[in-house]
Structures are given as structure tokens and as C-alpha cells.
Amino acid sequence: MSTAIQTTVNFLDGLAVTKIPEDQRVAEKFITVFNKVHGSRMGEMMYETEKYHFQKKLSENQELQKCSKVSLYGAFIDMAVQGLSLDPTKKLCYLVPSNVNIGTKENPQWEKRATLEISPYGELGLRQLAGQLDGAEEPVVVYEGDTFECGEKDGKKFVNYSMKTSHSEVVVGCFLKLLKKDGGYDYVWLLKADIARLMKYSDRKNKGNGDLSKANPLYTSGPGRQIDSGFLKAKTIKHAFKSYPKINIKGAYSQLEPVEETETIDYSLPAETSHQIAQSANGNTTPSAQDFSTSGNGSSDQNSESRITVDDDNY
């Protein structure tokens, strides 16, 4: 540990946890970092706003109060680095406490640390700053009874949607329109099958036994034990970035909201695969993708478009 870092650690040890953002040296550091990183003179205003939100989060969460002072300080300064707000109405980032083993596997020593976790909404803002996107429209949750059609035609994704006031509370999915820097646009959507898949991944990630009891409770906290609508919107935004380049997250105490749908791939071959490969080698290949059209009545057919349709005529 460098002398400068050790001096900072010693200084922070002399402060009460809730007083860290108030300290004059911390305030000056926050303002200086914000103005330098963002080429702005708004650092002081940002500091006053985020000091309030930071202290409010600390006062409401006892687990955060147990975090190391260095990690709390680092997370606060990282807010200046990222230019994101803890304002709960914006849902851009969160302070997350976690246990970190600073010892060894044989002799663990656990320390509670705070991390600035960047939400999908916050990630969207960072990608705009990085020049990957011009913006995005608000995600739209689709319900049974709405007119909704999504798919791909001539290599371009499309969505046709019209909300019906008479729609039910049954969630069909969610879609998002991304605005590109070149003036174009792109769509991404999550449908029922996608939501079910993500819920399984969540259960597996939390070491569930397959009955989904360990999945994030927000998957069943909506009406009729459906997915929470706000959670679904955030998941749709996160899903949109799977095909985009990674962004460089500056700051040692920041991280993007983790992706749940990381799956371990089984690369073992079934017994009949060698026969299938031989058939393919002889020219009897199967298409890599199949165009399809589905509607609420479960019918399907092949055509020149990949399309999924849901409208009020089918319910």
C-alpha cells in the first residue's frame, strides 16, 4: 500500500461512517474529480446533491454502515467519476454491501465492503456518453389485449404496438427502442419464454434446486405472481446491451449490475451426433435458423419474415 493510500486510510479511520461525505477534504476531492472527468464546473452542485442521497442511504441501511470506510469513500468518489446520481427516482445506481474474503481459502477473513452498482438505466447513460447510442425510449410493457407484433424483415427488426385500455394484467413481454448515433434505430424485446429462461438462471445463480424458489423475488412480485413491471423494463435494457461492445467502467469501487443469464455450456456430444455430422458433410444440412410466425392461438407457419404477433383478436 502506497504512503498516500495509507494516509487516506488513516484519515478515514478517524471519521464516523455517516460523516465521511461531509468532510471538507472529501468534498474537495469529489468536486475536483467530477469537474476534471466531465470537463464541467458543476462539481459543487453535484456534490451537495449526492452528499444528501449518500447519507440518506447510509442512515437507512445498517449493512452499509458496517462496510469499511475506505470502500464507502471509494464508492462516493466513484459517483463523481461515473457522473451518476443515487437519486432513487432515477434508478441509475445503488450502494450495495457485500462480504469480501481478504484472507485465504484456508483461513478466510471477511470484510464488508460497499460497491457502487450501476443499474441498466445507468449503463444506458454511460453508453450514451461513450458514443455508442444517441439514447433510448422508455421500455414498454405489453399485456394481453394490446396490439403487438415484433420480428425481423429484410434484416431489420420491427415492432408494431398499440396499447388497448381494455388490456388484461397478463404480461406478454416488454420492448425497447434504441436510438442510434447515425439517426437509425434498433429494437430489443423480452417475451414470456425469455422471462422464464432468465428466472431459471436467477434460481441457478442463487444455488436453487430447480423449483425457482431461489430466483430473484421480483420475478414473482407483480400482479398474479408475475414479474414486476419495473424489473422487467430494467431487464429489457440490460438485454439490449448483449450485442454492444463492453464499456470501460472507471473506478475501483464500481461495477455494472451483474448479468444473470450466464450459462455453463455442456460441450459433450450425444451418441448420435457423429451420424448427424456425416449427414451434414454429405450435403444434408439443416438450416441454421427458421423463420416463424406465432399468434395467440398457437398457430405457426414459415414465411419470409421472423415474426411474433400478439393482438386483441387472439385473447
**Same domain as 152, residue 114:** no
Cell 487516506 sits on residue: 8
- Which segments of 167-215 are extended strands (E)? 171-179, 185-191
Per-residue pLDDT tens digits for 22-63: 999 999 999 999 999 999 999 999 999 999 999 999 999 999
**Same domain as 144, residue 114:** no
Is position 285 within any domain?
Answer: no
Q: At what angle do helices 69-82 and 43-60 cross, to 10 degrees?
A: 140
Rounded Cα distance, 228 and 218, in Å: 6
The range of the structural domain enclosing residue 107 comes to 3-118
Q: Are 186 and 135 within 8 A, CB to CB?
A: no
pLDDT at res. 310: 42
Helices (H) and strands (E) in the chain, counts: 9, 12
Amino acid at 215: A
Is position 290 within any domain?
Answer: no
Indicate the pTM of the whole model.
0.75
**Same domain as 158, residue 110:** no
pLDDT at res. 269: 55
**Same domain as 240, residue 211:** yes
Is position 282 within any domain?
Answer: no
pLDDT at res. 313: 36
Q: What is the dihedral of CA 6, 8, 12, 13, to 10 degrees?
A: 20
Is position 33 within any domain?
Answer: yes
Output the tens digit of pLDDT for each of the chain's 315 residues.
678 788 888 999 999 999 999 999 999 999 999 999 999 999 999 999 999 999 999 999 999 999 999 999 999 999 999 999 999 999 999 999 999 998 998 999 999 999 999 999 999 999 998 999 999 999 999 999 999 999 999 989 999 999 999 999 999 999 999 999 999 999 999 999 999 999 999 999 888 888 999 999 999 999 999 999 999 999 999 999 988 898 888 888 999 987 765 544 444 555 554 344 343 343 444 333 333 233 333 333 433 343 443 443 333
Residue 311, classed as helix, strand or coil, is coil
**Same domain as 176, residue 75:** no
**Same domain as 308, residue 188:** yes
**Same domain as 153, residue 114:** no
**Same domain as 166, residue 79:** no
Which helix (H) or strand (E) segment holds residue 130: the answer is none
Task: Count up the domains in the chain and report the number.
Answer: 2
* Residue at which a domain ends, from 118, 143, 172: 118
